[in-house]
Amino acid sequence: MELRCITQAQVESLGIPISEVMRVVEEGWVLKGQGKVEMPAKIGIHPRKDCYIHAMPCWIGGEVDTCGMKWVSGFPPNLQKQMPYNIGLFVLTDSDDGHMKAVIDANWITSWRTGAASGICAKHIADPDSDTIAMIGLGTQGRTNTVALLEALPKLRNIRVYDPLASQVARYTDFIRPFLKGQEIVPCESIQETVKGADVVVTCAPILNDPKRTVRSEWLKKDMLAIAVDYDSSYDADVMTGGTTFVCDDLHQYLWTQEEGAYFQKGYPVKEQITGDMGQVCAGIVKPARTGRRGAVLMGIASHDVMTARLIYKKACELNLGTIIDF
């Protein structure tokens, strides 16, 4: 049997736009909402404080009929070593006979499917007239989330940004500049200044077991969308519980993680306070409010990885890209 190995550089050479990643991520969410996805909550080990390694398997049925698993780490100390926060591999597996079809570098997958998920969330829950966003954390996730929001919010004009590492602002700006169409990047000196007046706020801080939450509800507009891609590390709990809508990317995974006791403690929404998950939203089963304070926790789910890896694999095969190994 042949195994196609695709490196990060080869994935990047495909030039896949965020619009395509958003399309397949939303397709996966729709299938999940329709009950056509088998996806256990991701399990993990924690070899160092605030560091994790997760296993994320998933099968997506319907016409997609594709399965695979991502093995991914998140190590905050890597940022001080000029190393990626996330490092991982994805294994794409044939649904008929179980043979492995491809091994794909997962860094690009993780980065861009995470941004795409926020873009789809904004598409369904943000005010479509939103013109100002705030980005807290300007590393890889901050950059891809910004690109996705530029795609999702056609009236976006102002991008307010903050990172505790001042050097990140220049790197972020250099990365985002080619995607801008007249929008302005506004560097800020504090989180409070950054979120002031924003229609959408996205937090992309390192995920911590015992976070010191830094985004206060009183700093935010009453009519806005707060998206957390960093679990419960940034927002005060009442940002998520005190509004008109709270959604997560996967209800089972959120509740399972909460019950394990490491995350979503100290006032974060419990089952009765959850409007629904994004699979239900995308499938039209749940209709979230689009006014008032809206909150979303997007932990990152395996269906996004499978759909993005499937997209990469198809394009790589068309171009005969990657190294073929017989095994």
Instruction: Report whether pLDDT(138) > 90.
Output: yes
Instruction: Report whether pLDDT(315) > 90.
Output: yes
The string of pLDDT tens digits covering residues 268-299 is 999 999 999 999 999 999 999 999 999 999 99
Residue 82: pLDDT band by 50, 70, 90 thresholds? confident
Residue 123: pLDDT band by 50, 70, 90 thresholds? very high
The pLDDT assigned to 84 comes to 86
Residue 3: pLDDT band by 50, 70, 90 thresholds? very high
Which CATH architecture group holds 2-110+303-326? 2-Layer Sandwich (3.30)
Instruction: Report whether pLDDT(79) > 90.
Output: no
Query: SS in 3 state form for 25-54?
Result: HHHHHHHHHCCCEECCCCEEECCCCCCEEE
By percentage, how much of the chain surpasses pLDDT 90? Answer: 91
The pLDDT assigned to 314 comes to 98
Mean pLDDT of 4-15: 98
Mean pLDDT of 194-215: 94
d(CA 251, CA 124): 17
**Do 2-110+303-326 and 120-300 show the same overall fold?**
no
CA distances, 314 to each of 243, 256, 270, 305, 321 (Å): 41, 33, 40, 14, 10
**pTM of the predicted structure, to 2 decimals:** 0.95
CB 109 within 8 A of CB 312: yes
Query: Does the CA dihedral 70-76-77-80 come out positive or negative?
Result: positive
Mean pLDDT of 224-242: 97
* Mean pLDDT score of the chain: 96
Instruction: Report whether pLDDT(196) > 90.
Output: yes
**The pair of three-digit structure tokens given for residue 134, joined into one six-digit string:** 């705030």
Mean pLDDT of 177-202: 98
Residue 7: pLDDT band by 50, 70, 90 thresholds? very high
Write down the domain spans for the chain: 2-110+303-326, 120-300
The pLDDT assigned to 85 comes to 85
Which fold is adopted by the domain 120-300? Rossmann fold (3.40.50)
Instruction: Report whether pLDDT(262) > 90.
Output: no
Query: SS in 3 state form for the chain?
Result: CEEEEECHHHHHHCCCCHHHHHHHHHHHHHHHHCCCEECCCCEEECCCCCCEEEEEEEEECCCCCEEEEEEEEECHHHHHHCCCCEEEEEEEECCCCCCEEEEEEHHHHHHHHHHHHHHHHHHHHCCCCCCEEEEECCCHHHHHHHHHHHHHCCCCCEEEEECCCCHHHHHHHHHHHHHCCCCEEEECCCHHHHHCCCCEEEECCCCCCCCCCCECHHHCCCCEEEEECCCCCCECHHHHHCCCEEEECCHHHHHHHHHHCCCCCCCCCCHHHCCEEHHHHHCCCCCCCCCCEEEEECCCCHHHHHHHHHHHHHHHHHCCCCEEEEC
Instruction: Report whether pLDDT(162) > 90.
Output: yes
Residue 69: pLDDT band by 50, 70, 90 thresholds? very high
Residue 209: pLDDT band by 50, 70, 90 thresholds? confident
The pLDDT assigned to 210 comes to 85
